Amino acid sequence: MAINLESFRYPFETEIANESDGAKVAHRNAFQGILDLNQAVASLKTQLTAATTTSSSSSSSTSTSTSSSTSTGTQTVVTNSATTTIGYVNDQTGVTAYSTVQSDYAKFIILDDASAIAITLSVGSSAPAITVPWYAVFLNFGAGTATLTPIDGTISYQGNLAVASMPVAQGSAATVAYDGTNFWAELIPLIGGVVTQIIAGTNVTISPTSGVGAVTVNSVVPAPTLTTLGGVEAIAQVTSEWINSISTSGVPQLSQPAVADISGLAADLALLAPLASPALTGTPTAPTATAGTDTTQIATTAFVESAISAISGAGVLLDASYVGALTLTTGAFTTLVLNTVSVDTASGYSTSTGLYTIPATGIYMIVTKLRPADGSTEFVSYGQGAGTTLADSTNFQWFMTVSTTTPSTFARNESINTRIMRLTEGQTISMFYYDDTVALTLFSDVTIGCANMSVALLGIT
């Protein structure tokens, strides 16, 4: 008989286009059931006719063919003599290949294999051969894909017209019909719904758009506009820069912000004093330098007050004496270590070394006094002074003991050396002497020093 191909492929696709996938499957399956029912009725009528015919005693091992003429034309119906059940199961388990036969007509062919299986669709001219009408339902419950390939002709399914083969994926089914030349099929999902068509929208690409298998969907976020954010590319952080704009292709633009970009910053900066010659107002403060600092660092009032306090004391910074008898060393410039300090405002004198540390850079007046003991040898050359080095210099003055009217005695006289010099903070000075040839003994007195050095600051420079 001639198969109505359009009806077999479901003629109402347009009417169900807006239905859900599940509803679409239900419509198609219901329609398929109606087709199966029509086939079953036709087969039943044939079998009833055969049962009342005297030739029904004919023993066909598998099937018989009966022809009848009606107003609609001639049709050939193939029946199975072993059963009256339409669509019984043909279970293919544990095989990798199978060829259809005439008896597969109206069967559910179960494919339950651990791997892929190749299905060969026999045709009218093949061996085994099939005749129309012929259709079967293939249900793939196996682990691999079932590939249906006609021996001759083509197979068409779901937008794939006249192709050489059709894959049936795991978990899917296919209803396949033969029109005497080619095969026509429809894929049906066994589990869940089925996507029969995928349409790419704006900024979306799909591959493939039809067929069976995995589908890749690539979405492209639209470029941003003045009113739409769109897609923006990622960008690495850059120190001290910010995103000032985004191009229409979604690329951020970076720059270092200008003063004008930050609200109120220019006005705030205008209130600040410049680094060069700042005109400060109010009561500016600064860190107080350590006492004795001699650099270009700012001197606060606290630093100045501390420096002045260190050198205060009516102008006299040091007054030190040697009290007691002392025999001078001969033949060398020698520091005279004073053992009694009456004034030392800056605590700069050491009674162990005889050195005095200058507290501040300035002009100083230094007075030294030395008195040999009465009765010392007459006409002995000696000298004394004060300075930073022990040497004969402008800071050193020579003297000589002189006689009295009695040649063997030494008159009560003393030597005084006064010098004004500029000294730098941190320098050390000392009182020193030189006894030429004869050891002189200093005058011994319990209250009046026989040797003395006083230091007065005349001004800071």
> Can you spell out the DSSP letters for 7-20?
HHT-TTTTTTTTS-
Query: What letter would DSSP give residue 170?
Result: T
Token pair, residue 348, equals 């700069």
Contact 96, 115 (CB under 8 A): yes
CA–CA gap between residue 2 and residue 4 (Å, rounded): 7
Residue 57 has pLDDT above 50, yes or no: no
The domain over range 310-460 is classified in CATH as 2.40.400.10 = no
347 — pLDDT class (breaks 50, 70, 90): very high
- The pTM of the full predicted model, rounded to 2 decimals, is 0.36
427 — pLDDT class (breaks 50, 70, 90): very high
Q: What percent of the chain has pLDDT over 90?
A: 24
Q: Which residue has the higher pLDDT, 321 or 240?
A: 321
Cβ-based neighbour number of residue 92 at 10 Å? 19
Q: Residue 164's pLDDT is what?
A: 94
235 — pLDDT class (breaks 50, 70, 90): confident
**Beta pairing partners, 129:** none
Q: Residue 93 half-sphere exposure, CB side, CA atoms within 13 Å?
A: 3
CA–CA gap between residue 397 and residue 431 (Å, rounded): 12
Compute φ and ψ for 57, nearest 5 degrees.
Answer: -75, -10
Specify the domain boundaries for CATH 2.60.120.40 within the chain: 310-460
User: Could you tell me which of 417, 419, 415 has the C-alpha nearest to residue 440?
Assistant: 415
Residue 103: what residue type?
A: S
Residue 59 has pLDDT above 50, yes or no: no
Residue 314 has pLDDT above 50, yes or no: no
pLDDT tens for 203-234 read 667 766 655 556 676 666 666 776 666 677 77
Compute φ and ψ for 97, nearest 5 degrees.
Answer: -155, 150
Compute φ and ψ for 309, nearest 5 degrees.
Answer: -65, -35
Q: Residue 79's pLDDT is what?
A: 43
Residue 373: what residue type?
A: A
Q: Residue 8's pLDDT is what?
A: 46
Spatial CB neighbours of 4, under 8 Å, sequence gap ≥ 6: none
Contact 120, 99 (CB under 8 A): yes
Q: What is the signed CA dihedral for 156, 158, 164, 165, rounded to 10 degrees?
A: -120
User: Any idea which of 38-47, 123-132, 145-154, 268-277 has the lowest mean pLDDT?
Assistant: 38-47
Q: Can you tell me the mean pLDDT for 181-208?
A: 70
Return the residue matching tokens 């001078």: 328
Q: Residue 310's pLDDT is what?
A: 61
Q: Residue 212's pLDDT is what?
A: 55
